[in-house]
Amino acid sequence: MSQWSQVQQLDIKFLEQVDHFYDDTFPMEVRHLLAQWIEGQDWDAASNNETMATILLQNLLIQLDEQLDRVSQEKNFLLRHNLKRIKQLLQGKYHGNPMHMAVVVSNFLREERRILAAASMPVQGPFEKSLQSSVVSERQRTVEHKVTAIKNSAQMTEQDVKYLEDLQDEFDFRYKTLQTREQGDKNNFLMKQEVYKLQEMLNALDHKRKEALSKMAQIVNESDALISGMLNEELLDWKRRQQIACIGGPLHGGLDQFQNWFTLLAESLFQERRQLDKLDELSNKVTYEGDPIPLQRPHLQERVDFLIYNLFRSSFIVEKQPCMPTHPQRPLVLKTGIQFTVKLRLLVKLPELNYQLRVKATIDKNASFTVSNRRFVLLGTHIKVMNMEESANGSLSLEYRHLQPKESKSNAGNKGNEGSHMVTEELHSITFETCFSLYGLTIDLETSSLPVVMISNVSQLPNAWASIIWYNLSTNDTQNLNFFSNPSAAPLSQLLEILSWQFSSYVGRGLNSDQLNMLAEKLMGVQVSYSDCQVSWGRFCKEHVPGKSFPFWAWLEAILDLIKKHLLPLWIEGYIMGFVSKDKERVLLKDKMPGTFLLRFSESNLGGITFTWVDHSENGEVRFHSVEPYNKGRLNALPFPDILRDYKVIEAESVPENPLKYLYPDIPKDKAFGKHYNSQPNEVSRPTEKGGKGYVPAVFIPISTIPPDESTCPCSPLDLLPMSPSVYAVLREHLSPTEIETAMSSPYAAE
């Protein structure tokens, strides 16, 4: 079943997450219509190869043309219209930057895998439960209700001011008419009635002015309470969800909802401001002793302006945090000399602001707040203009795509501070500033990215990413650049959840409870309960695992890299148990059929995978056999599924055979791995024809020997040696197993 077919079968709460990230950057219609073709392309490789990305873009447009021909024949006018629009959009957006499209599609496919992985996990962790709190949903409904009520009240007050203006115009007309009468006329009965009527109108005018000001004050009070209370809490929660999403957590959405709230509030406050100006105008035309407008309006005006300032300042956010396109799963880690992207958004969407906001990006603006002695500058276009996106929500935003950090020359000879901090523990911040004028108000805006780690060599990336994980796990303070001066410990339960997210976001499948328990044991040692455990930063990333020469994170990161490069399909399909101790391994295998094996990651080697199988001796004794771990170097020579298929063991005087029969618990090996075999099985019979240029084709045959007197001793496989099938057949016919092992110590390439 295709990945897209699996996505469509998800529950509605997961489908909503998918809906959040598909937009006009890559419309969902394209994903749906070209699902099989899209999943068959290597978008990860294309994101780092411009030629490959260009070819993929061209092929994508060809695929869309074929779809256009099909829907034209079916006379589906609406779909044809949409596809033509989508094709034009993609051409315009990616024609000059096809690698960006490859990054976008790669990210979307990865997010789908992460959501599929999350949907398959039976238990939510503490973080995910907190992010889906029913209290948050109830608060959102309350905010929605209050924003709507404020907007309605502002519109009703608009009508009140209009009525007040009409009443004042009538009063003013009648008063001026009375003033033109002759003095004698003013003493008659009708004139006295007119004066009395004017007095009543003035009383009504005064009442209406006070009523309008009172309603305005109530709107200001409600807006103030909403902005400083629930709306601010909602925004803080969104920023916290963004932090968690940066380190692999569930996708965060809701900005369109925020945009609606912020825009309606801004419109209501500007409406109030216009109404106050109108009242001032009315007061200048007609005033009297005790007139409430000059007494109350200035204070209300000041409060409205203050709320507008605060609303705009809160609405200026970093929608997508800094990220190198070459490492989309590692946001907030930036390498000198490598471009990164970052996207800003103003949640107040007013047409008057389109193309008015010029935003300037700087780094280390507040250098005194960081422990680093290194200073950086930004190369590339660091001043850009915000504009309305051509999308359904039409957000006011801008995206930097060509910023590039460079270490300042003033740092020459200064390789960081002299304290205990590593370069990968130094935090920096990218700041964005703009200023604009609107309706007589001049507003300065500033926002900053989450702290970033600057590296100069890709070898620093794993430790830099560990710092990003730890920071965003441990604090909701978005600007604590001194965090690693005294990093706080993290609850083990939350850390394990984050580690599971590393696997779901980076390699498409998270960790189950058994795998997480093994990691807990690795971090904290064997304990009865891990519920109250706290993990220090040192134990996670800096201190060596007991009895090993590397820290916990280095071990885990090497496994992630191994899966990504060599084991991805097997991991996603759940065939690699991976995290299981040797003791647990034996408990699982001891009652299984001979030839049952499981795959686990090495605990003593960085980035190694091994397999262990069970069999029985002649007297019925259970025996376990493990091979020396395969690392990246060895897996470069032969794919792991082929190793499992062709693996041979020489035991005593027997013929070499493959001992691997069933993947734990009882899956026939070929059923599990058959579709992943990359070549024909390596036969050991004598070939009938020679290869090209007189050479016999070389094959790689992984072989182990089992000492007859050490049945439970781990096997140590020989390196994958190139040997012709005919040479191997001759060895089998004429040499003993010991002599075969000696003969295999030298490579053979031809007869």
Whole-number average pLDDT of the chain: 81
pLDDT digits (tens, 9 = 90+) for 352-392: 998 899 999 999 887 666 667 788 999 999 999 999 876 55
Cα-Cα-Cα-Cα dihedral sign, residues 642, 644, 645, 651: positive
Q: How far apart are CA 297 and CA 398, in angstroms?
A: 37
pLDDT reported for residue 750:
29
CATH of the domain spanning 175-313 = 1.20.1050.20
CATH domain 491-559 topology: Recoverin; domain 1 (1.10.238)
pLDDT exceeds 50 at position 748 = no
**Residue reference for tokens 């709460």:** 13
pLDDT reported for residue 367:
65
Kindly report the pTM of this predicted structure: 0.77
pLDDT digits (tens, 9 = 90+) for 205-229: 999 999 999 999 999 999 999 999 9
Distances (CA, A) of 457 to 276, 285, 334, 336, 557: 59, 71, 10, 8, 17
pLDDT reported for residue 120:
65
CATH of 3-120 given 1.10.532.10, 3.30.1330.10, 3.30.450.20, 1.10.3720.10: 1.10.532.10
Phi, psi (rounded to 5 degrees) for 492 = -60, -40
CATH of 324-457 given 2.60.120.1570, 2.60.40.630, 3.40.50.11740, 3.90.400.10: 2.60.40.630
Return the HEC string of 44-93. Answer: HHHCCCHHHHHHHHHHHHHHHHHHHHHHHHCCCHHHHHHHHHHHHHHHHH
Name 19's Cβ contacts closer than 8 Å, sequence gap at least 6.
28
**Residue reference for tokens 């960790």:** 511
Report the length, in residues, of the chain.
Answer: 751
Across the range 604-618, mean pLDDT stands at: 88
**Residue reference for tokens 């070819």:** 55
Top-confidence residue, 270 or 10 = 270
Q: Which CATH superfamily is domain 575-743 in?
A: SH2 domain (3.30.505.10)
pLDDT digits (tens, 9 = 90+) for 420-467: 568 899 999 999 999 999 998 999 999 999 999 999 999 999 999 999
Residue 13 confidence class, pLDDT cut points 50, 70, 90: low
pLDDT exceeds 50 at position 727 = no
Residue 335 confidence class, pLDDT cut points 50, 70, 90: very high
- Cβ pair 131, 249 in contact under 8 A: yes
From 327, 343, 453, 469, select the one nearest 396 (Cα to Cα): 343
Report residue 80 CA to chain centroid gap. 33
Top-confidence residue, 408 or 357 = 357
- Cβ pair 665, 687 in contact under 8 A: no
From 670, 664, 675, 672, select the one nearest 646 (Cα to Cα): 670
pLDDT exceeds 60 at position 617 = yes
Domain boundaries, the chain: 3-120, 175-313, 324-457, 491-559, 575-743
Return the percentage of the chain with pLDDT > 90, whole number: 37
pLDDT exceeds 60 at position 733 = no
